[in-house]
Amino acid sequence: MSNQPNRRQVLKNIIAGTAAVGNAAMLSSFANSDHSTEALKLKGNINHSVCQWTYGFLPLEELCVTVKKLGLGAIDLIAPKDWPTLQKHGIHCSMCYTAGDISLTEGWNKPSNHAKLIQQFTEAIPLVQQAGYKNLICFSGNRNGMDDETGLKNCTEGLKKIMGLAEKHGVIIQIEIFNSKINHKDYMADKSAWAVELCKRIGSENFKILYDIYHMQVNEGDVIRTIRDNHQYFGHYHTAGVPGRNEINETQELYYPAIMNAIVATGYKGYVAQEFIPTAKEPKDKVAALKKAIQICDV
């Protein structure tokens, strides 16, 4: 869907210091009056979050207000420069970016990237701990002709150099797995088994997988079985509807109540972050879609 923003485009905005993807000038008139932002009565089995970039039509200040009104406590994928805004509103950062140049395509599978990445993560890990956060995202990078085994060896070699620091500060480094079929062509970490093997080779409880349900349904399916068999390696979850990466409602093929029940059954206590791109035109309807998604996932 070429008219929709993607994570790479949004990262450019984050690096440039801009606050929103779409209608950034829009302020909070609807959030203060619309019933869609009334607090949800949550069951407490799932810790809910929302990814900033998919709700980037709201300035971050406004997103914090909206999230808090809904009764949520966290926002995903925030860089250090914006942590003070979250802290001002009493909102937790459930998944952190490093500061500076963030790339999904140039990652740990390429040895020439290691020096730069080690520096970035060495600087970021203590900041994450000092801010009271826990999760710090990383990416494999694209293949560019590299075979999977070489990529595993390269990622293992590079990531092991920061794991001692992560363990010392209680920070969990989480590699996100994407589909390479639709959204992230050539991305190496496009299979749960590849990422699980990377976890085994690194051998640290402070290295986990950000299991994106949407991406893995597109690339391999069998989501619930994968969660049951590999949950000890999964440290975070993202959602979205398939096909289209839109709302997780009755229009798409994934049944999220069953998936959430499977996650709860593993004893998982972390966050599940909504990462769907809302299709509604009006901001209040997009927020209503977020509210509905939380209700669907609150098992």
The tokens for 265 are: 């059954």
Q: What percent of the chain has pLDDT over 70?
A: 88
Does 66 fall in a domain?
yes
Question: What's the total number of domains in the chain?
Answer: 1
* Per-residue pLDDT tens over the stretch 64-97: 999 999 999 999 999 999 999 999 999 999 999 9
Does 184 fall in a domain?
yes
**CATH number of the domain where residue 111 is located:** 3.20.20.150
Ramachandran sector of residue 186 (left: φ over 0; alpha: ψ -120 to 50; beta: rest): left
Amino acid making up residue 35 = H
* Per-residue pLDDT tens over the stretch 2-53: 345 666 666 655 555 544 444 443 333 333 434 466 789 999 999 999 999 9
- List Cβ neighbours of 129 (8 Å cut-off, separation of 6 or more): 169, 170, 171
Does 266 fall in a domain?
yes
3-state secondary structure of 94: strand
Give the Cα separation of 142 and 184 in Å (integer).
Answer: 9
Provide the domain limits for residue 86.
7-297
Beta bridge partners of 172: 135
Does 2 fall in a domain?
no
Does 59 fall in a domain?
yes
Q: What percent of the chain has pLDDT over 90?
A: 86
Global pTM value: 0.90
> What is the model's pLDDT at position 9?
64
The tokens for 97 are: 């970016």
CB of 47 within 8 A of CB of 92? Answer: no
CB of 276 within 8 A of CB of 19? Answer: no
- List Cβ neighbours of 53 (8 Å cut-off, separation of 6 or more): 5, 7, 10, 21, 77
Does 97 fall in a domain?
yes
Report residues of the chain scoring pLDDT below 70: 1-37
Does 1 fall in a domain?
no
